Amino acid sequence: MTYRPKPDMRNDSAGSEAANRSWWDSDAEAYHEEHAAFLGVDTADGDFVWCPEGVRESEAGLLGDIGPGTVALEIGCGSAPCSRWLAAQGASVVGLDISAGMLRRGLPHVRHGIPLLVQAGAENLPVADGTVDVVCSAFGAIPFVADPARVMAEAARVLRPGGRLVFSINHPMRWIFLDDPGPDGLVATLSYFDRSPYVETDADGTPTYVEHHRTVGDRVRDVVSAGLRLVDIVEPEWPEDFEEQWGQWSPLRGAIFPGTAIFCCEKPR
Ligand SMILES: C[S@@+](CC[C@H](N)C(=O)[O-])C[C@H]1O[C@@H](n2cnc3c(N)ncnc32)[C@H](O)[C@@H]1O
C-alpha cells in the first residue's frame, strides 16, 4: 500500500529512522544490482559520484584538498564507495549509515579497517566536537531524516573551524513531480510548499519508507541556523549525450530542470 503525503510523520525522527533502516536493509541487494557499477562500489579504491548526473569529486573538487591528515566523515555512506575513495586519497575516514545491510555490502572492500564503517543515525553523530575537516553526504540520510536542521547542527558541531560540509540531495523542485523518468514526470502534481513526507507502508500500515521534503529556503535556513556559511548550491546540468537513467533521473527531464542540488558549506574560522 502506498500513499502520499502523510503529515503526522513530519516530526517523527524515530519512526523515519526505523522505516528507512528496514527499507535500506531489504533494498540493499536490489540497489546494488542497479547502481553498483555506476557508483564504483566494486572497484579497488571506490569512487566518489555525487549524483545521477555523474559529477565526480575527482573533477569537481567540492571538498577542497583531500590527502594525508584530512579527517573525513561521510553520512549515509551506504556501501561506502565515496568513503573508500577518500581513504584512497590518504584521508582518515569514518563512513556512517543507519542500515547494516548497506554497510555490509561494502565490507569485502574494506582493507585493514579502512575506512571505519559505523552503524548510526545522522541526527546523533557519534563523533567528538571539532575533530573533522570534511563532512560529506552523497544522497545519504539528509532526504530521509525528519529533523535535517539537527543533522546540520551535528555536522557543525563535529567540524573544526574552517572545515567543510558538502551534501547532495534531490533538487527540492523535483518534489512537485511524479517520480517518473518519462513524460508523466514533467507534470506538476504536488505542492512545493507541502512539507508532509512521502511515506510507504506495509499491509498493516507500518511505515516502510519515509522521504522528507524541504524547500530550498528551508535547506538554506537549516545550514545558516547551524552557524555554517553557505558557499554554493551546485545544480548539475544533464551532460550532453549522457544516456544513463537512474530511477526518475532521465535525459528527458534533465534537459528541462535540475535533479540534484549540492550544498557546499563552511564552518567559519
Ligand atoms: C540513496 S542511498 C545513498 C548511499 C550512498 N551515499 C551512495 O551514494 O550509494 C541513502 C543511504 O542513506 C542511508 N540513511 C537513510 N536514513 C539514514 C539516517 N537517518 N542516518 C544515516 N543514514 C541513513 C540509507 O541507509 C542509505 O544507505
Radius of gyration of the chain (CA): 18
Average pLDDT over residues 210-232: 97
Q: Which residues on neighbouring strands pair with residue 168, listed in sequence order? A: 138, 262
Q: Is the CB of 12 under 6 A from ligand 1?
A: no
Which atom of ligand 1 is nearest the CA belonging to 103? 27
Q: How far is the CA of 17 from the centre of ligand 1 (A)?
A: 11
Cα–Cα distance for residue pair 98/120, rounded to 1 Å: 5
Does the N-terminal peptide bond of residue 115 adopt cis geometry, omega within 30 degrees of 0? yes
Ranges assigned E (strand) in the chain: 2-3, 71-75, 92-97, 116-119, 132-138, 159-170, 198-201, 207-211, 229-234, 260-266
Q: How far is the CA of 149 from the centre of ligand 1 (A)?
A: 17
pLDDT tens, residue by residue, 74-107: 999 999 999 999 999 999 999 999 999 999 999 9
Which atom of ligand 1 is nearest the CA belonging to 145? 19
Residue in 26, 43, 144 to alter for ligand 1 test, most ligand atoms within 8 A of Cβ: 144
Q: Is the CB of 77 under 6 A from ligand 1?
A: yes
Q: Is the CB of 199 under 6 A from ligand 1?
A: no
Lookup: cell for 132 = 573533522
Q: How far is the CA of 13 from the centre of ligand 1 (A)?
A: 15
Lowest mean pLDDT among 2-11, 26-35, 250-259: 2-11
pLDDT tens, residue by residue, 121-144: 999 999 999 999 999 999 999 999
What integer pLDDT is reported at residue 6 of this predicted model? 63
Average pLDDT over residues 150-170: 98
- The structure's pTM equals 0.96
Average pLDDT over residues 234-243: 93
7 against 190, higher pLDDT: 190
Confidence of residue 1 (pLDDT cuts 50, 70, 90): very low
Lowest mean pLDDT among 119-123, 127-131, 150-154, 174-178: 174-178
What integer pLDDT is reported at residue 4 of this predicted model? 55
Cα–Cα distance for residue pair 65/80, rounded to 1 Å: 20
Average pLDDT over residues 241-250: 89
**How many CB atoms are located within 10 Å of the residue 199 CB?**
23
Strand order in the sheet with 2-3: 2-3, 198-201, 207-211
Lookup: cell for 162 = 574552517
Measured in residues, the chain has a length of 269
- In this structure, the residue with its CA closest to atom 23 of ligand 1 is 141
